[in-house]
């Protein structure tokens, strides 16, 4: 075996390792995003409106406040905050749920909600952008819930409020 052949094998090995790492990242992202596209989210989210109402009431959301709903699913909590007159931005990693949320907002006759696709573990917002940051059950399903907690704190204004509904792991 020549030295050239060995070098090629080392390069091939390096390329294979790089491809495996890339595939793992892609699979992780795909799993996280795709699981929420499966099934009928509307039917499993029927319990959310009362929880959304309770959370929005507990956080005392007012007209004119800037609210971020993280991992918002079909938009129950964003719509509830929007009914209070808040300036609501909602974010979810799954485009199909964002489409569903837009439809739900139209049905509820709530306008003015900003809908964004994005990862709650790496929010695309400036520091201290929101008066209130909230989420119903989303963070507990994240691969790294601690990153979401840090992001929630980062984007909340000083003196702002954070609230979420979850159950222990």
In SS3 terms, 49-83 reads as: HHHHHHHHHHCCCCCCCEEEEECCCCCHHHHHHHH
- Tokens, residue 69: 């709903």
What pLDDT sits at residue 61?
98
Same domain for 157 and 85? yes
Domain extent for 138: 42-165
- Per-position pLDDT tens, the chain of length 169: 333 344 444 554 455 545 444 444 444 444 444 555 556 656 666 667 789 999 999 999 999 999 999 999 889 999 999 999 999 999 999 888 888 889 999 999 999 999 999 999 999 999 999 999 999 988 888 888 899 999 999 999 999 999 999 877 6
Give the model's pLDDT for residue 13.
45
- Residue 149 is part of a domain; what is its CATH number? 3.40.50.150
C-alpha angle 166/98/100, rounded to 5°? 95
Between CA 152 and CA 41 the distance in angstroms is 24
Shared-domain flag, residues 15 and 76:
no
For the chain, how many structural domains are there in total?
Answer: 2
Separation CA 154–CA 133 (nearest Å):
10
Same-domain check for residues 10 and 54: no
Judgement on whether residues 48 and 31 belong to the same structural domain of the protein: no
Question: Are residues 29 and 90 located together in one domain of the fold?
Answer: no
Within this chain, do residues 104 and 145 fall inside the same structural domain, yes or no?
Answer: yes
């Amino acid at each position: 075996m020549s030295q050239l052949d060995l070098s090629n094998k080392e390069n091939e090995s390096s390329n294979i390792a790089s491809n495996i790492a890339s595939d793992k990242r892609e699979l992780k992202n795909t799993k996280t995003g795709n699981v929420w596209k499966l099934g009928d989210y509307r039917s499993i989210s029927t319990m959310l409106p009362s929880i959304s109402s309770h959370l929005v009431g507990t956080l005392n959301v007012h007209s004119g406040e800037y609210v971020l709903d993280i991992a918002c699913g079909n938009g129950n909590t964003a719509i509830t905050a929007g009914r209070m007159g808040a300036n609501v931005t909602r974010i979810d990693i799954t485009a199909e749920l964002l489409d569903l949320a837009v439809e739900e907002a139209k049905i509820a006759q709530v306008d003015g909600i900003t809908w964004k696709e994005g990862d709650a573990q790496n929010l695309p917002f400036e520091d201290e952008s929101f008066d209130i940051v909230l989420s119903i059950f989303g963070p507990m399903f994240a691969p790294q819930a601690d990153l979401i907690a840090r992001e929630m704190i980062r984007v909340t204004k000083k003196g702002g409020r954070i609230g979420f509904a979850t159950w222990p792991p």
